[in-house]
Chain A
Amino acid sequence: MQKSNVDIRSLQIGFGGLKVLENLNLHVETSEFLVLLGPSGCGKSTLLNAIAGLIEVRGGEIQIGGRDVTWAEPKDRGIAMVFQSYALYPRMSVRRNMSFGLTVAGTPRDEIERRVGEAAQMLRLTSLLDRRPSELSGGQRQRVAIGRALVRHAGVYLFDEPLSNLDAQLRAELRVEIKRLHARLGATMIYVTHDQIEALTLADRIAVMQGGVIQQLDTPKKIYREPVNRFVASFVGSPAMNFIPGRLARGSEIAFIAGVNRVSLNGYAFRSQPTDAPAVLGIRPEHIELTAANDPSSVSARIEMVEPMGADTLIWCRLADGTAFSFRHDADAQVRVGDTLTVCFPADALSLFDETSGQRL
């Protein structure tokens, strides 16, 4: 089937008195890999199920490949879907799991065989075709589920947290496999996850959701470097971004004041004209740099804890006013708990947020 784009216009979904999504708009380009990222209950799975046609919408429109499918049955939408629990048909062989939908739809037998063979080969399932799901490992089961989606030759592939049931190592392996699959097929894929690493590694664009609203829709790099609000900033990134409360001050140059510390904001790309107001400074642990004590923009802090993480070390510090933050340093850093460090926060790597609204300044 033709690869399709997806267009969602002012979508509304609710259950009883509960509104899950309200006036949601989203456009997914053909061949794009879009990740819906958010904590549980943010509406990301609801949105995916609505695209699949598995739940009814209250209002708005869903177009797939330019065709209005808001009220179409899932099978008529040109989609295929992979589920978290694999949802394989337990009493059928791998081959039959993949072919059953096509058989019922009346696809010619040689065509089914060709498609199953192709998908099995792509997913390295050829030797497992006659096994039952119960005889497979978790990773293999999810590959079968992906294979069952692939044979549908759909315009859009939907993934509902497909890796959440797997252990960490398998998850990393299958993640690479899905990425490779997308590169090879060039298919449109929409992928739901709560794991920000999956989102950052897989996506062309990420839609970060919270409370049924898309907070930010952008490339992984933009999402990571320039989060639009504090929620996105804290949800994406591990170890998490540091937040330091303080206020903005306009003198000869604009600066951020936190207690006795002063951080120069020369070089920060403000979105609007800054005013003297309370604000929160956000900085990622890897953007904090060690510096000489006489640097005018430096901040001194006491080391509270050191977490060696293999490739590098996470150092937990506390400022004089009691604010804690962490920063990343190379693994062979000679640091001891109790030492005092001087660090600086480079202005071009910062994020500043309004204290009350949490929006990026």
Chain B
Amino acid sequence: MRLSLNSRLSTISALLPALLVMLVVYIGATSWTVWMSLTNSRMLPNNNFVGLRQYELLLGNDRWITSVHNIVIYGVLFVSLALLVGFLLAVAIDQRVRAEDTIRSIYLYPYSMSFVVTGLVWQWLLNPTLGIQHVLRSWGFEGATFDWIVRPETAIYCLVIAGVWQASGLVMAIMLAGLRGVDEEIWKAARVDGLPKWRVYVSIIIPMMGASFATAAVLLSTAVVRLYDLSVAMTNGGPGIASEVPAKFVMDHLFERANIGLATAAATTMLITVIAVVAPYLYWRARKGEVR
């Protein structure tokens, strides 16, 4: 009896720090954020309950609508392109190329850079008067135009380019691990069967790599939700509000524009969106686990 009490005490004391962090930081801070979104707090938090007033304002806010629009474009393109490019890079490396280790490191380097550095580098590269367009013109291609970053309707695609450049190395590493896990004899069997290489990848290898794709997709999706620094460093949301994203909307209203109520309403909306996407997936996974 004493022993069991003892062991229970030590279990609780071991779990306590993590439990406290979870209660205070995650659940506490999240609940406070949700509560703030129901008040009319401006620069300092207050407790004047105004119902869903902030959400009405939010949905009427042009900048928020643009942000949501942008994050959808960015999310879809960034995740699918990073998966595609990362997979193709992994396939290329998997062809038993020479100096594989070196190439793998080079591919992975962008990921070791922060989004701020990535953003600055690509800002210069894409800047029409300094970067790629300038180089092409100085080489004699007078008509060369690559000014996406200064045009409002294309600025968000520049974020996609930089994001994909940064993340595809990581995807490559995950995919390469998956490819290396494929039994050598499956390749032999496919050769005896006379299957062309691309057909083996499409019909046999990719279906086998569900876990790798899922891992990569989850990592990329979290990067989409917290997209902030890339937008700040590359375009600062511009030109105008053309490349604003939700996380930046929250930060700006929280600290620069002194509108805590609106900022927390935006943050809560993001949270609800993520839950709406993730919950069915978690439910499906749990069900699948039960069936097994």
Contact = CB atoms under 8 A, between A and B. Distances in A.
Interface in B193-209: 193-196, 199, 203-204, 207-208
A104 B195 contact: yes
Interface stretch (A79-87, A111-119, A239-247, A326-334): A79-87
Given A87-B185, A91-B207, A81 B192 contact: yes
Contact of B189 (A53, A76, A87): A87
A336 interface: no
A105 interface: yes
Contacts of B195: 100-101, 104
A108 interface: no
Given A83-B185, A84-B185, A90 B208 contact: yes
Contacts of A100: 193, 195, 203
Contact of A87 (B188, B196, B208): B188
A73 interface: yes
B106 interface: no
B192 A52 contact: yes
B8 interface: no
A49 B190 CA distance: 14
A179 to B, nearest CB: 23
B255 to A, nearest CB: 50
Interface in A66-81: 73-76, 79-81
A80 B192 contact: yes
Given A85-B183, A100-B203, A91 B208 contact: yes
Contacts of A145: 189
A259 to B, nearest CB: 52
A101 B185 contact: no
A101 B193 contact: yes
A75 B192 contact: yes
Contact of B191 (A75, A84, A88, A92): A75
A145 B195 CA distance: 16
Nearest to A82: B189
Contacts of B57: none
A89 B204 contact: yes
B186 A75 contact: no
Interface residues on B, range: 10 to 19
Interface string B198-229: 01000110011000000000000000000000
Contacts of B186: 87-89
B209 to A, nearest CB: 10
A54 interface: yes
Contact of A75 (B193, B203, B204): B193
A84 B190 CA distance: 15
A86 B184 CA distance: 11
Interface residues on A, range: 20 to 34
A86 B208 CA distance: 16
Contacts of B207: 90-92
A81 B188 CA distance: 9
B184 to A, nearest CB: 9
Contacts of B191: 53-54, 73-75
A121 B186 CA distance: 24
A54 B28 CA distance: 62
A101 B290 CA distance: 36
Contacts of A54: 188, 191-192
Given A81-B188, A81-B189, A104-B199, A87 B194 contact: no
Given A87-B183, A87-B185, A79 B192 contact: yes
B185 A75 contact: no
B194 A74 contact: yes
A53 B194 CA distance: 12
A49 B188 CA distance: 9
Contacts of A76: 194
A115 B192 CA distance: 17
Given A88-B189, A89-B186, A91-B207, 19 more contacts: A54-B192, A73-B191, A75-B192, A81-B192, A87-B186, A88-B186, A89-B190, A89-B204, A90-B208, A91-B204, A92-B207, A100-B195, A100-B203, A101-B192, A101-B193, A101-B195, A104-B195, A104-B196, A105-B194
14 contacts: A49-B188, A52-B192, A74-B194, A75-B191, A79-B192, A81-B189, A87-B185, A87-B186, A89-B186, A92-B204, A101-B192, A101-B194, A104-B195, A145-B189
Interface of B: 183, 185-186, 188-196, 199, 203-204, 207-208
